[in-house]
Every structure is written in C-alpha cells, then in structure tokens.
Amino acid sequence: MRHGPAAPPNRTAGARRPEGRFRPRGREARIGAMAAVLTVPSLDLPELAPYRTLRRPDEHRAEGIFVAEGEKTVRRLLGSRLEVVSVLVTPHRMAGLADLLGNPGRGGTVYLCPAAEMERLTGFPIYQGVLAVGRVPRAIPLADLLQDSAKPLLLVAIDGIANAQNTGALVRTAAAFGAGGLLVSETGASPWLRRAVSCSVGAVFDLPVVECADLAADLRALSRAGVRCVAAHPREGSVALTTADLSGDCCVVLGSEDRGPREEVLAACTVRAAVWMRNGVDSLNVVAAAAVFLHEATRGRPTR
C-alpha cells in the first residue's frame, strides 16, 4: 500500500487516486449524539488494528475485545449494554444503522470505508458491509449466575465444542429456549470468537456466559446446589430423554457429536439421557440435540 503525499491540486481530471487513500473531509460528520463519524484516511490507522487482525483471535482475546459482523449482529450490539469500541461500515450500509448510531452515550467511533477498501483492510470480502468491535464483558462467577438467574433454573453446559460456528449456534439455541446461562468448558471454542458471535446473531450479548477453568468441577458444584445435571449421551446405559426428569433446577450438558462429553464431565452429571433415533442414525449434530433437549426441558416451565 502506498502512502505518498496527496496529488497536487492541478492533477489531470480523471486521474486515479493513490491506493489506500480516501476522499478527505473538511470536518468530522456526526450522527445524533454518538462520537464522530470519520471517513478512513488510511488503512494503517492504529484504531483499525482489530479489523486488520480478524484471523488472529488470540490477539483479540488478549485485548479483551470481540468483533461483530453483519447488520443484524451489529444492530444487536449497538442495542445492548456492552461497550462498543468502534464500528466500520460502508457508506451504502450507513443508513440502516443510523437510528442506533444516534443513541446517546453509545460511545465508539464510526469509520466509513468503501467496500473495496474494507476488503483490503480485512483480507476477505465483508458482504454485509459492516463490522464492529466490542469489549468482552467481565467474567461471571458461577455463584453469581446461580444467584441471579430466574427460577426454576435452566442452564446449558457445552464440553469440547471446538467449532466456533457450533458454539455460536448453541448460544443462540440456549437463548431461544430461555436458558439462564451458558457454561463453556476449558476445552472448547470461546463464544466471543468472531464466527461464534456471528452464528449466535448477537445472542451472546445478552446470555450470561461462564467460561470454565474446570467444567467437571463446576458441574459438581451445581449438583451440590441442587441443580440436576443431565448429559446428552446417545450411548448404552442412557435413559430415554422422554423419561428423564428435567423439571426444577436443571443443567443440560452437551458434548461433541463423535465422543459426547468427556468421561470426567459425564461422571459429574446426575443422569445420562438420549434421543431415540431410527433408520440407523446414531447421533445428531450437537445443535440439533440441544434444541431437542431444551424443548423437552421447557415443557411445563413458565414462559420467560
């Protein structure tokens, strides 16, 4: 990328602008009461670093930030209580966010960037033309989750889910069925990864999440607190889901499709249950299994 001096005023009409430069503005634009809306002057702007490092999630985690992608997800972020660091949007997509960008006190800077330059910045096409950086909220202790969640308690715990898209879809499924919180094992993908946030369509912004250092220990703590931990485990020795007791305080525990929860996690559960299947099918995708278990668990519970 070249960052030479601006072309002289008498440059030939129709001449191409230097790469990486955008049309300058005499002053900052503003939308409502939000911080300045800036046309990006250079792709090397330090504040754009999170958008240049989308493929380096460890750096984002170290900085305590996450990236939201797509209009629906960014709108949900802007409407949430989470801190918004910045928004990167094409001029074409700006109008669709104007109502939320004008909310007083939302904070963060809005950067306007043409679609082609956004692709150069991120390294791949951003088809919906909008990204945002948010601040990961403070960690929630398990004790706080138990105290603050509505009763009867319904929680979801996921063990060893390495695929971020599955993690995000599980967040969305848990939120859809009214779960009071999500426990994520030390062996799984963080729900704050970009693809997880995207697949949750922003549900992670409102669902309390506990990222466990030792999921098995946390499940034992739940059991001591009177929470029935029910493992989804389609193997011999499991009871039929329709006969499992999912009433009262309950935590549905899910593992990977091929192995299920780890042995130490299974040992910490109260009961193992399975969905009876036909036609030689021996397992469901973990997201489908979560929906079946949570539908069963919510039968008879008050609507939240």
What is the phi/psi pair of residue 55, to 5°?
Answer: -95, 10
Mean of the pLDDT values across residues 84-90? 94
Predicted confidence (pLDDT) at residue 303 exceeds the cutoff of 50 = yes
Check pLDDT > 90 for residue 1.
Answer: no
Q: What span, in angstroms and rounded, lies between the C-alpha atoms of 200 and 287?
A: 12
Q: In sequence order, what DSSP letters do the residues of 261-281 get, joined into one string?
A: S-HHHHHTSSEEEE----TT-
> What would the pLDDT profile of 37-71 be if each residue is shown by its tens digit?
889 999 999 999 999 999 999 999 999 999 999 99
Instruction: State mean pLDDT over 108-114.
Output: 91
Q: Which residue has the higher pLDDT, 51 or 12?
A: 51
pLDDT at 20: 34
- Alpha-carbon distance 210 to 219, whole Å? 12
Q: What is the mean pLDDT of residues 94-99?
A: 82
CA 288, 289, 295 angle in degrees (round to 5)? 90
The stretch 92-113 carries a mean pLDDT of: 78
The candidate with the shortest Cα–Cα distance to 137, out of 33, 65, 75, is 65
Which strands make up the sheet holding 65-69, listed edge to edge? Answer: 37-39, 109-112, 84-89, 130-135, 65-69
Mean per-residue pLDDT over the chain, rounded: 86
pLDDT of residue 236: 74
Which stretch of 124-128, 174-178, 227-231, 281-285 has the lowest confidence by average pLDDT?
Answer: 281-285
Q: How far apart are the first and last CA of the chain?
A: 52
Span 147-155, average pLDDT: 94
Please state, in angstroms and rounded to a whole number, the distance separating the CA atoms of residues 70 and 128: 5
When pLDDT is averaged across residues 7-36 and rounded to a whole number, the result is: 40
Residues found in the chain: 304
Instruction: Quote the pLDDT of residue 108.
Output: 80
Quick one: pLDDT band at residue 102, thresholds 50, 70, 90? low
Among 104-108, 172-176, 216-220, 273-277, the least confident range: 104-108
Lowest pLDDT segment from 18-27, 79-88, 272-281? 18-27
Judge whether residue 146 has pLDDT over 60. Answer: yes
When pLDDT is cut at 50, 70 and 90, the band that residue 234 belongs to is confident
pLDDT (0 to 100) of residue 28 = 42
Domains and CATH numbers, the chain: 37-135 (3.30.1330.30), 142-298 (3.40.1280.10)
The predicted model scores a pTM of 0.84
The mean per-residue pLDDT over the stretch 123-141 comes to: 94
Locate 267 and state its tokens: 């040992």
